Amino acid sequence: MPVSLDAPRAARPSLTVLAGPTAVGKGTVSTYVRDHYPQVWLSVSATTRDPRPGEVDGTHYFFVSDEEFDAMARDGQLLEWAVVHNSHRYGTLRSTVERALERGLSVLLEIDLQGARQIRNTMPEANFVFLAPPSWDEMVARLVGRGTETAAEQRVRLETAKLELAAEPEFDHTVINDRVERAAAELVQLMGVDPEPAS
């Protein structure tokens, strides 16, 4: 089910960008926010990769073909886009984010580091939050444990993660993803939203 623009309005609407290294749990934290904090509007990215088990088109991502993504990029429909891990492309639909902000909603945008840097250039007033792992060993265990990549893909992602971790000083805030519920509460508090989840 697509994310609704009819979510309750927040007191201080803004755009918050959540980024961090691969396998740190950005998707897990943002999903928890979507499910427990209706006052936050979670932007849904477009991607050229295939859905993972349990992912739903229009809820987790808009899954599009390479040709469709080419058209979006060419026509200026993407606020940012990037090639991730030298394979698939991800991008943020400009229209959905702008409409949500115009409606006074607090928007959470979960993207990769390349995309965050593009947003920093185009919308420097946004709030930038870096999601960090409790430790390097914990991040490696999460990546290997989820079993969604081959061994070769895991090696590429871990090499990328080392570079991504070094980007932490570029962000306004850092949230440690030690427990999903706690990290989500800290994130929404940084957004200026009541950190108490909806019942």
The pLDDT of residue 66: 95
Other CB atoms closer than 10 Å to residue 47's CB: what's the count?
20
The pLDDT of residue 193: 86
The pLDDT of residue 176: 97
Q: How many CA atoms lie within 13 A of 43 on its CB side?
A: 30
The pLDDT of residue 77: 93
The pLDDT of residue 161: 85
pTM: 0.79
Closest CA to 44 of 33, 57, 55, 60: 60
Q: Domain spanning 13-189: which CATH class is it, in words?
A: alpha beta
Strand 15-19 with 106-110, pairing: parallel
Q: Is 115 annotated as a binding residue?
A: no
Closest CA to 23 of 184, 171, 172, 164: 164
Q: Is 21 annotated as a binding residue?
A: yes
Condensed to tens digits (0 to 9), the pLDDT of residues 8-18 reads 434 445 899 99
Q: Is 192 annotated as a binding residue?
A: no
The pLDDT of residue 22: 81
Q: Is 76 annotated as a binding residue?
A: no
* Neighbour order of strands in the sheet with 15-19: 40-42, 106-110, 15-19, 127-132, 173-176
Condensed to tens digits (0 to 9), the pLDDT of residues 40-59 reads 999 998 999 999 999 999 98
Q: Is 29 annotated as a binding residue?
A: no
The pLDDT of residue 12: 44
Domain boundaries, the chain: 13-189
Q: Is 24 annotated as a binding residue?
A: yes
Q: How many CA atoms lie within 13 A of 134 on its CB side?
A: 10
In the block, tokens 């959905």 appear at 96
Rounded Cα distance between 87 and 65, Å, is: 13
User: Can you point out the beta strands (E) in the chain?
Assistant: 15-19, 40-42, 45-47, 61-63, 78-84, 88-93, 106-110, 127-132, 173-176
In the block, tokens 């394979």 appear at 87
Give every residue of the chain whose pLDDT is below 50, as ranges.
Answer: 1-12
